[in-house]
């Protein structure tokens, strides 16, 4: 299994942090890769089984290398504690929250089957995809912290 995680403490209650994370229409504000998202009918918010699309872009400086859209399904949604979804039936993304004294520790993680064949070479070796995903999670959480604490 290919995995990675990043954590941060956000000085806001878990309910506020959970609301921000689960509002997938806002992820483009924080993520260096996700540029936007929208709920797929009939979903209008986070619930197990709800589906949404996420628009993504891989950039190298000002150059956009690739754009793509994923469809994700929420697999776990426990208010103020856990938000998990599977993108394209391949990558599981999970947010775990723990509140203590009005601040919330957030761990974002991903996991997917290892790349094989040409993808192992292109994404794994050349692209260092997992390393880049961890870096992106750290940026996302830091930007979210800045927004929520301001």
How buried is residue 62: exposed, middle or buried, by Cβ count under 10 Å (0-12/13-18/19+)? exposed
CA-to-CA distance for 104 and 101, rounded, in angstroms?
A: 8
Q: What is the pLDDT of residues 47-79, one digit of tens each?
A: 999 999 999 998 878 888 889 999 999 999 999
Q: What is the pLDDT of residues 134-147, one digit of tens each?
A: 999 999 999 999 99
Q: Which domain holds residue 14?
A: 2-149
CATH, residue 145: 3.30.530.20
How many other C-beta atoms can be found within 10 angstroms of the C-beta atom of residue 100?
9
pLDDT given for residue 1 in this prediction: 81
DSSP-assigned states of every residue in 54-96: EEEEEEETTEEEEEEEEEEEEEEEETTTEEEEEETTTEEEEEE
Domains identified in the chain, total number: 1
CA-to-CA distance for 85 and 76, rounded, in angstroms?
A: 7
């Amino acid at each position: 299994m290919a995995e990675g995680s990043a954590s941060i403490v956000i000085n806001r209650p878990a309910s506020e942090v959970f609301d921000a994370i689960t509002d997938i229409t806002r992820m483009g504000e924080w993520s260096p890769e996700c540029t936007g998202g929208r709920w797929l009918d009939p979903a209008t918010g986070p619930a197990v089984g709800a589906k949404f699309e996420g628009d993504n872009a891989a950039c190298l400086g000002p150059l956009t290398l690739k754009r793509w859209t994923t469809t994700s399904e929420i697999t776990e949604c426990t208010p103020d504690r856990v938000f998990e979804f599977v993108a394209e039936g391949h990558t599981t993304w999970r947010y775990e929250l723990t509140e203590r004294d009005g601040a919330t520790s957030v761990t974002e993680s991903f996991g997917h089957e290892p790349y094989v064949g040409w993808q192992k070479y292109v994404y794994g070796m050349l692209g260092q995809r997992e390393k880049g995903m961890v870096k992106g999670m750290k940026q996302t959480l830091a930007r979210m912290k800045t927004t929520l604490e301001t």
